[in-house]
Amino acid sequence: MSLPKFEYIAPKTIQEACEILEKLGDEAKVMAGGTDLLIKMKHGAAGPKAVVGLRNIKGLSSIEFDPKSGLYIGAMALLRDVASHPTIQKIYPAVAYAASQTATVQIRNMGTVVGNICNAAPSADNIPPLMALDAELMVVGPKGERRVALKDFFKGPGQTSLKRGELVSAVFVPLPPPNGAVSYKYISQRSKVDIAAVCVAAMVAVDRGRAQKVRIVLGAVAPTPIRAKKAEQLLSGKKLSEQAIKKASRQASQECSPITDMRASAEYRRTMVEVLTARALTEARDLACGKSG
């Protein structure tokens, strides 16, 4: 299956890229690693007249950490580089783990974290742990730069809040809470290289044995990645006992709206939300309690 004809444009600055995107509108698509876009084009799911590649724009491959604010992952930072980055492994281990579990080695060598986000697949591995950490996207457009909370970025499968002429230049991840930890769990029905049938991230910050802050993010069980807010509220301020975690996990399974497809049935997905949420909360709790002593 061959690619349709298209014009490839390689701007040298973000401003130039935004000008091109504003001019061409829906006729153009942004390409970072191309692992999602090119497959869609081959299968007729996308047919842009122009592809705007970001490879020639300097600085977009950078991964920068500021101990006072947090982590910046540029739009062209590869999945493999995020997965193997020593600082990310140490301070944001769930982010590194999710990147390391995305698709295959070949795709991780070409694909980017920001590209995985902007593809807006409900099952994307990298989104849940980043959402659990209250990540933000640095969005650049004709009117300048703005920040968009990752939780507000998705509007539906393959749909984002980007406006005409805008692109994501980086994802910003705040510092984790001092006594907090994140766990990412996923399951794939067919193989480890298949996309997740269900994925869950949990972030827990503990103070004197009680949950000071809780985030539970569910993927592949709704049109977009979602927070299980009612489940979070059940744990807020509470001791994270096995019973409390079990109750919150059951609640999380009621907050999703899974579908049946070739990867899993809706019933199976809902059951696995409960199972994976319990596992993620338990691991995050244990890691957080270890930090707090």
CATH class of segment(s) 63-174: alpha beta
C-alpha to C-alpha distance for 147 and 138, rounded to whole angstroms: 5
* pLDDT tens-digit series, residues 133-190: 999 999 999 999 999 999 999 999 999 999 999 999 999 999 999 999 999 999 986 6
Q: Domain extents for the chain?
A: 7-53, 63-174, 180-292
Contacts of 115 by beta carbon, 8 Å cutoff, 6+ apart: 32, 33, 34, 35, 36, 75
Q: What is the pTM of this model?
A: 0.95
Question: What are residue 19's DSSP bridge partners?
Answer: none
The per-residue pLDDT for 189 is: 67
* pLDDT tens-digit series, residues 234-254: 999 999 999 999 999 999 999
* Residue-by-residue DSSP string for 87-136: HHHHH-HHHHHHHHTSS-HHHHTT-BHHHHHHTT-TT-TTHHHHHHTT-E
Domain 7-53 listed as CATH 3.40.50.150: no
Contacts of 86 by beta carbon, 8 Å cutoff, 6+ apart: none
CATH class of segment(s) 180-292: alpha beta
CB-CB neighbours of 129 under 10 Å: 30
Low pLDDT (below 50) residues in the chain: none
